[in-house]
């Protein structure tokens, strides 16, 4: 009997799992995320598969949670070796501030204590010439001191090593005789900007012990199902191997959100929508990204582990990482986002989430602060159970929490719930603005594709805020990111800084990748800027566009589109990138919703300040071509689609729910 193909997306609140036989989707399930995620994964495979697994594709929040200091995933100490005179670069950083006028803003904790930073007497100049080599005596002293401190993970970041890594590689060779975890900037982030490169290398070193331990444990445990191949979703939107992630765990920092955007791109191709906004609202965060002509946008820098995750526009709240990421904006707005009030009794939403344990108050697991899920339950948007009755929700507990909070502000619980949902919708609209308006795009020209467990509940109202009149809810929206894993290709990256000849540079990168992956398709990108600018744009290049003149033309067009102007200046190619893509050949296919064991009944909801009785139907019972006018609710296994007044809902040929604004 052939093995199943399994996709697993471990989120902050729920774990989504999709099973396939290689030609179609067999089953989708959703379970609460556990303290040790691999235990829930293995149990689900035993229960829902035929006992054999051919391949397992995995997205996880492990790396991000570790940087955020989640209990059970604390980072260990890291040592850093830098060029003499540069030991404090990791602490000096940049002058970026996400909140310019916040006098109490605190930068994230530096990941390397100052007494664990070591200066090495070496030097490479800007042209790559080795001016001074490190000495064996100096390295012996440093290694001895690190060993005494029982530090397991070491980062190396020398000046200009992206041009010539010789000194770094010599030091790496010496360190590997004593340390299992060694992260070298010339291998992790061979790019200019010493602070960002050092930060990336340190983040990678800090994550190596935790990620390696988890991946090895999971991979070893999977052997009982027939030695399946394990693929991890990278932040760039492709699957990578176990060895790749163990050596560069920074690759999976945004693996879950990336999978959702991939699913959006594939689904938009299936239904013929060439301009869409991917909108993913789960239990902890909401993510937005644009997909134009079925292509996913890529950026080369991201900030992780901070309080703000607003793509390339907001800097300074986290740790910069120079690595390819799907270009998205992420905000703290999910079903588990906590509703609270500040000392002035002003209503606030987030950024803290209740997670899956203790979860929202209505879960009855000990949560003592109301969340967005509690608000939606109190207002009747969601019913009093999740996952077709597997999780019972207490409306009384939700209203009790909202009532206690309302007493502080002079509001009744339903007013608190209504206002909190309006606030969270505004926050999610901000994320959409960041990936549209900030990129020079008009959101009104796009269709909003909404998914995640909470996305369909809020999609229409968020669309109204943005002036978007067309929303699509794909099949199985709650497990849509896991489905994206199933549709993702294997993807490996190589890069080169400041190529003297762009065409020759791409030829070298292509040859390097094709030697390792002979059956792959090569994609090209270039990070470009006008001379004198401090930041770059990442430009996707057509297969034939590898000359400097072609790259320059595409950059000028992209700069004009993003910022509304061009300059009479020389264009500079800072970094070129090539990706080897290996197709998985799994079809998207049409997915029908699961029939519900407990058919929904009409519910009373608060809409536009009035309580009204609205119809609630099962998505599986909603027929292709059928139409309903809002207000209405469409329930399914993992989510509820809210159709407000003024919206018309129909079911498309690919079982999607199509929402159109008709006006009041």
Higher pLDDT, 178 or 315: 178
Q: Quickly count: other Cβ atoms within 10 Å of residue 433's Cβ.
A: 19
What does the block give as tokens for 319?
Answer: 């740790």
Of the CA atoms within 13 Å of residue 532, those in its CB half-sphere come to 4
- Segment 51-72 shows an average pLDDT of 78
What does the block give as tokens for 4?
Answer: 């199943």
Residue 242's region, left for phi above 0, alpha for psi from -120 to 50, else beta, is alpha
- Segment 425-438 shows an average pLDDT of 92
Nearest to 251 by CA among 182, 359, 184, 323: 323
Given a cut of 70, whether residue 588 has pLDDT beyond it is no
Q: What is the pLDDT of residues 177-194, one digit of tens each?
A: 999 999 999 999 999 889
For residue 195, give Cα distances in angstroms to 29, 191, 230.
Answer: 43, 11, 33
Q: What is the pLDDT of residues 529-553, one digit of tens each?
A: 999 998 888 898 987 778 899 999 9
Distance CA 228, CA 3 (A): 8
Confidence of residue 311 (pLDDT cuts 50, 70, 90): very low
- Segment 252-256 shows an average pLDDT of 87
Q: What is the pLDDT of residues 511-527, one digit of tens each?
A: 999 999 998 999 999 99
Amino acid 301: pLDDT: 79
Distance CA 439, CA 275 (A): 14
Amino acid 1: pLDDT: 43
Beta-bridged to residue 60, according to DSSP, are 10
What does the block give as tokens for 351?
Answer: 């950024």
Distance CA 645, CA 358 (A): 34
Low-confidence winner among 68-72, 356-360, 478-482 (lowest mean pLDDT): 68-72
Contacts of 266 (CB under 8 A, 6+ apart): 294, 484, 487, 588
Given a cut of 50, whether residue 118 has pLDDT beyond it is yes
Nearest to 327 by CA among 271, 275, 278: 278
Domain boundaries along the sequence of the chain: 78-212, 255-334+423-486, 339-420, 490-582, 603-661
Of the CA atoms within 13 Å of residue 635, those in its CB half-sphere come to 24
Confidence of residue 128 (pLDDT cuts 50, 70, 90): very high
Q: Quickly count: other Cβ atoms within 10 Å of residue 586's Cβ.
A: 22
Q: What percent of the chain has pLDDT over 70?
A: 94
Higher pLDDT, 231 or 664: 231
Higher pLDDT, 95 or 356: 95
- Segment 46-57 shows an average pLDDT of 83
CATH class of 490-582: alpha beta
């Amino acid at each position: 009997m052939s093995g199943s193909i399994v996709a697993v997306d471990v989120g902050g609140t729920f774990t989504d799992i999709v099973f396939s036989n290689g030609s179609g989707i067999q089953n989708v399930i959703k379970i609460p995320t556990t303290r040790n995620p691999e235990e829930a994964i293995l149990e689900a495979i035993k229960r829902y598969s035929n006992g054999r697994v051919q391949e397992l594709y995995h997205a996880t929040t492990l790396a991000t949670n570790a940087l955020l200091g989640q209990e059970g995933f604390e980072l260990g100490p890291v040592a850093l070796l830098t060029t003499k005179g540069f030991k404090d670069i990791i602490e000096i950083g940049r002058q970026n501030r996400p909140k310019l006028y916040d006098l109490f803003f605190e930068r994230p904790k530096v990941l390397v204590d100052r007494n664990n930073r070591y200066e090495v007497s070496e030097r490479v100049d800007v042209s790559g010439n080795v001016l001074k080599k490190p000495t064996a005596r100096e390295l012996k002293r440093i290694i001895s001191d690190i060993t005494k401190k029982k530090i397991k993970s070491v980062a190396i970041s020398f000046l200009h090593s992206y041009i010539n890594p010789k000194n770094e590689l010599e030091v790496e060779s010496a360190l590997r005789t004593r340390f299992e975890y060694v992260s070298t900037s010339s291998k992790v982030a061979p790019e200019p900007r010493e602070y960002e490169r050092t930060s990336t290398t340190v983040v990678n070193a800090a994550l190596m012990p935790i990620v390696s331990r988890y991946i090895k444990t999971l991979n070893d445990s999977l052997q009982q199902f027939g030695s399946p191949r394990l693929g991890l979703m990278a932040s760039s939107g492709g699957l990578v191997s176990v060895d790749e992630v163990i050596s560069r765990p920074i690759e999976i920092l945004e693996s879950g959100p990336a999978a959702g955007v991939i699913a959006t791109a594939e689904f938009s191709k299936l239904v013929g929508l060439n301009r869409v906004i991917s909108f993913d609202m789960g239990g902890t965060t909401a993510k937005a990204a644009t997909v134009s002509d079925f292509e996913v946008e890529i950026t080369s820098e991201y900030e992780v582990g901070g309080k703000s995750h607003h793509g390339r526009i907001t800097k300074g709240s986290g740790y910069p990482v120079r690595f390819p990421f799907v270009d998205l904006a992420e905000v703290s707005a999910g079903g588990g986002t906590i509703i609270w009030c500040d000392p002035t009794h002003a209503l606030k939403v987030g950024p803290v989430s209740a997670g899956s344990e203790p979860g929202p108050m209505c879960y009855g697991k000990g949560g003592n602060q109301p969340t967005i899920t509690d608000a939606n339950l109190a207002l009747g948007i969601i019913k009093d159970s999740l996952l077709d009755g597997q999780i019972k929700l207490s409306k009384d507990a939700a209203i009790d929490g909202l009532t206690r909070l309302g007493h502080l502000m002079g509001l009744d619980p339903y007013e608190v719930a209504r206002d909190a949902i309006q606030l969270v919708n505004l926050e999610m609209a901000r994320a959409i603005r960041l990936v549209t308006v900030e990129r020079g795009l008009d959101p009104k020209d796009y269709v909003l594709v909404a998914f995640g467990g909470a996305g369909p509940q809020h999609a229409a109202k968020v669309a109204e805020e943005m002036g978007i009149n067309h929303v699509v809810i794909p099949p199985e929206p709650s497990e849509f990111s896991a489905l994206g894993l199933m549709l993702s290709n294997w993807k490996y990256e190589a890069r080169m800084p400041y190529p003297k000849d762009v065409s020759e540079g791409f030829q070298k990168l292509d040859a390097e990748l094709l030697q390792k992956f002979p059956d792959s398709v090569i994609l090209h990108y270039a990070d470009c800027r006008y001379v004198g600018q401090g930041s770059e744009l990442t430009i996707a290049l057509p297969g034939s566009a590898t000359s400097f003149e072609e790259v320059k033309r595409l950059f000028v067009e992209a700069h004009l589109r993003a910022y509304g102007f061009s300059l009479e200046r020389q264009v500079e190619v800072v970094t070129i990138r090539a990706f080897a893509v290996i197709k998985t050949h799994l079809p998207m296919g049409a997915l029908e919703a699961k029939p519900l064991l407990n058919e929904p009944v009409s519910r009373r909801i608060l809409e536009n300040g009035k309580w009204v009785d609205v119809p609630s139907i099962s998505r599986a019972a909603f027929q292709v071509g059928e139409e309903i006018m809002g207000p209405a609710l469409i329930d399914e296994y993992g989510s509820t689609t809210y159709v407000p007044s003024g919206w018309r809902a129909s079911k498309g040929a690919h079982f999607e729910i199509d929402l159109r604004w008709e006006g009041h």
